[in-house]
Amino acid sequence: MSVRERKKRQIEERADLVLDVARHLFIERGFHGVTMDRIAKACEYSKGTIYGHFPNKEEVVVALASRAVQRTHQLFERAARFSGRSRERMCALGESYASFVQNEPEDFRFWLMLRPDALRDKISSERQEAFLTGEQACMSIVDGVVRDALAEGDLVLQPDQTAGDIGFGLWSLSFGAYSLADSNDFVHGLTGSGVFPSVRRHGHALMDGYGWQPLFAQWDYASTYARIEAEVFTHD
């Protein structure tokens, strides 16, 4: 390993350490309870070292959100390889997203922190672009399953639809529901069996509305979900 490569690795490892420490501070104290000084003290680094990696705490948040997106992308890649009809594979993607939100809720919240414009205004265009690239990579997997459905004849677009419209509809249903559930306790009381089963039901209603075969009433999706649990999540 060359001196340059060794130095690059050391810088990356130090940045990862800063993010690990900052993650725990944000979870413990919330966004407004964390300062760059507090992060530096917890890392036992000088403020200059911290600022060399991240100019402000908003940049730390977007880096943590990018981690969350990368984790989601890993789950989506595995789910997209699930063996089954295209609609079953979309179910696997939905279950992967639900699993991430349920099992890693703190990291999902870093994703949500980026919504306010006031926060995004303090983030460099480079970090924003990296985050958006990660989101687009997740969305491209969703769109890929939709395109497979079109190619296999399981789905036929209406004149005013695109493959992106279908993927956006399903993504916005899940992301919107999980965002509401995270920020509003009363949302849990609006669903008879909980947020996650409700998203699953509404997802099927939406896919039925698209005419995505096989329709819910014509397929044993309970068996599909059992296979997803056994085949997609056995290594988590």
Q: Give pTM, 2 decimals.
A: 0.90
Check residue 4 and give its pLDDT.
Answer: 66
Task: Give the per-residue pLDDT at 1.
Answer: 62
pLDDT band of 187, cuts 50, 70, 90: low
Residue-wise pLDDT for 1-11, tens only, equals 665 666 777 77
Residues 11-40 pLDDT 10s: 788 899 999 999 999 999 999 999 999 999
Q: How far apart, in whole angstroms, are the C-alpha atoms of residue 145 and residue 81?
A: 10
CB atoms within 10 A of CB 219: 15
Evaluate if residue 146 carries a pLDDT over 70: yes
Tell me the domain boundaries of the chain. 1-54, 58-232
What is the DSSP code (8-state) at residue 56? S
- Spatial distance between the Cα atoms of 188 and 185, rounded to a whole number of angstroms: 6
| Residue 147 clears pLDDT 80, i.e. is over it | yes
**pLDDT score of 235 more than 70:** no
The pLDDT value given to residue 64: 96
Residues sharing a CB contact under 8 Å with residue 180, sequence separation 6 or more, in sequence order: 187
Look at the domain 1-54 and name its fold: Arc Repressor Mutant, subunit A (1.10.10)
pLDDT tens-digit series, residues 76-123: 999 999 999 999 999 999 999 999 999 999 999 999 888 777 788 899
Total Cβ atoms within 10 A of residue 65: 23
Instruction: Give the pLDDT of residue 180.
Output: 86
Over the stretch 46-56, which tens digit does the pLDDT of each residue have? 889 899 999 99
Classified by CATH at the fold level, domain 58-232 comes out as Tetracycline Repressor; domain 2 (1.10.357)
